[in-house]
Amino acid sequence: MTNKKREQKLRYKAKMREQEHGIKDALILGPYKEPLQPVKDGHGYVGALTFDVKGRLQCHICGLLFDNLGLHIKIHDAINADEYREKFGLGKTTRLISEGERERRKIAMIKMYAALTPEQKVERKKHFMERVHNAPKKWDAHRQTAEYQNKRGICPAQLIEIMRQAADEEGKLSWRDLINFHQTLRFKRPIYRTFGSWGAALKAAGLKPRQKGVDKGVSIPRYSNDDLLDMIRTQYEETGKIPTASDCSRGFLPTAGLFIKRFGSFPNARKMAGIPI
């Protein structure tokens, strides 16, 4: 049976299932942040997985639902799982099976492992460790995927929305405006990495520069001591957690070096802000 005939058969089964239940399967979006970029000439969104109430994953190519998406996509021009993830911006380690299928495999693996002899278990563990050690490092490539960027709030669509929020009524924006509005520098590297330049980013967002060359040599805005202490209090009130220096590295607060320079250490700044220990 050719791939085209297989796809026609799958579509026919989906249509019959729809007629049987009377409504289409309700689709649910995974743990992703809006806005998302729809797939061109396909289904779902770039860098995101969509599934139904039963946990079956939607194919980005044909729109049908499957428990084992990695097995199904082979009918689409012989594409494999890694090529599928790369084409639709998914993480290098993103599973292409439903939660139900994962549980079934887990139970089968436990039963199989329990039936092994102690010698077989040792040999299997040794083989597994060699495989992990020799596996190619995918983390750097994983960080560049649309799925990873979306979960961090720095995918192209989200960066454009962040820029539009900081623009004025005339649709003009400078680096200083962006930094002052969001009170962080964490979007600078993602914007340059995604669009290549500040001018290209403004063009993608449909905005205009406030003045020529404003993105060159922009300095970090200087905060007063009261401003810095107020930021720590706000972070504590919004999250309910004790602010730490790691919040600075994650972009929720200005750099830790600034707090150290002003107050001697981050704990001292936290103490002066009145945060209970």
> pLDDT (tens digit, 9 = 90+) per residue, 231-244?
888 888 877 888 88
- What is the per-residue pLDDT across 105-152, written as a single tens digit (0 to 9) for each? 889 888 988 888 888 888 888 887 887 666 655 545 555 677 777 777
Cα distance between residue 166 and residue 182, in whole Å: 8
Q: How far is CA 100 from the centre of its chain?
A: 23
Q: 188-195 vs 156-166: helix axis angle to the nearest 10? A: 120
Q: Is the pLDDT of residue 214 over 50?
A: no
Report CA Rg, the chain: 25
Do residues 272 and 229 lie in contact, with contact meaning Cβ atoms separated by under 8 Å?
yes
- What is the per-residue pLDDT across 14-50, written as a single tens digit (0 to 9) for each? 555 555 544 445 677 777 777 778 888 888 888 888 8
